[in-house]
Chain A
Amino acid sequence: MTSVNAQIKRGSAELAVLTLLAEHPLHGYEIAKQIEAQTGGVLCFDMASLYPMLHRLERKNWVKAEWKTLSNGRRRRCYRLTPSGRKQIAPLRAEWRAFFQALERVTGFQNA
């Protein structure tokens, strides 16, 4: 499994979470598991990185959290994307695309 630098992880984490939440609301554990599964374990969140980030996104009003009672009777704090958060996805994607294209031009990593 490839290990990814922490700085890159941090920068990409917001985009990954917002993209995931664009599909449907999820609670913290589900977010962590789904990102881990979808990236084959390259991006994996622990509690120390996931929740501060979710709370930061909440403060920015990009996501909104609310307690929901699941079918098994347990309460979970579910995060859903706000309209303002939805608007952030396209610029963030463009930013990352530009970053990878620039990196590709320098390193030619796609053809490597």
Chain B
Amino acid sequence: MPDWKQIVRKNLRVLRACSPELTEELAAHLEDSYEALLCEGMSPEVAFQRAMGPIEGRRRVWLVMRFLKEELMTRFIREAALPALLTSAAACFFHWALALDHVRSSVIWLVGGQLPLWWWCLLPIFGALGALLSRRKRGSRAQRIAASLVPSAIMGILILLLFAIGFTLSGLVNHFGSVSARVESLGVGPPGFVVIPAFFSLMGAGIAEVSTKKFGRLT
């Protein structure tokens, strides 16, 4: 009797990323299919060739594509991308709201301090939000962290792009000063928009992680 699990593992190696149960489930299907063909009176060799059909050649490519599309993409979207998007949207919205003139003056009048500081103080909430949303969708730890860090990552990418554009525009002459000035003129400072927010978001994700482990209700 062929070892169907081994055959599936070998032929559909890429699907191991989907779920460990999938290999066993597909192997079971092939095993049933093979036995049904034997019962129809086929020789073991012919039955084996026929049973192998769905995981060979073009059909194998199609099978892998379908699974990757359904399983990985859907899971990635549910477990990481959507929570990350919501977290980013919330962080951007509050940054925009805090920057509004009347809000800024009220906040500073009420609590004093610098405005970025208040935005940073909100970031653990968004970090926790991203991590919790991802956790609710059974995201892995890496996906939970990714979901909470995406706002900072987006800002990081934007700043890198700005630098790249700055390098091109300034023709590599006095690039640091001109790029810095350009970036500062846009109100974007790398530490304030990437490193520090990432730290605060991660702190929120950490708090969410610890509290869900402790209370275990939000999963």
Residues in chain A near residue B70, CB distance under 8 A: 52, 55-56
Q: Report whether B25 and A51 are in contact in the complex, using a CB–CB cutoff of 8 Å.
A: yes
Complex CA distance for A48 and B22, rounded to whole angstroms: 12
Shortest distance in angstroms between B29's beta carbon and chain A's nearest beta carbon?
A: 5
Q: A28-B28, A28-B29 are in contact. Are A48 and B71 (CB under 8 A)?
A: no
Q: Report whether A46 and B59 are in contact in the complex, using a CB–CB cutoff of 8 Å.
A: yes
Q: A29-B28, A52-B71 are in contact. Are A77 and B54 (CB under 8 A)?
A: no
Interface size class of A (residues with CB under 8 A): 10 to 19
Chain B contact residues, majority secondary structure: helix
Q: Is A76 an interface residue (CB 8 A)?
A: yes
Q: Report whether B67 and A75 are in contact in the complex, using a CB–CB cutoff of 8 Å.
A: no
Residues in chain A near residue B24, CB distance under 8 A: 75, 77
Chain A contact residues, majority secondary structure: helix
Residues in chain A near residue B63, CB distance under 8 A: 46-48
Complex CA distance for A76 and B31, rounded to whole angstroms: 11
Which residue numbers of B lie inside 8 Å of A, CB to CB?
Answer: 21-22, 24-26, 28-29, 31-33, 36, 54-55, 59, 62-63, 66-67, 69-71, 74
Which residue numbers of A lie inside 8 Å of B, CB to CB?
Answer: 27-29, 32-33, 46-49, 51-52, 55-56, 59, 67, 74-77
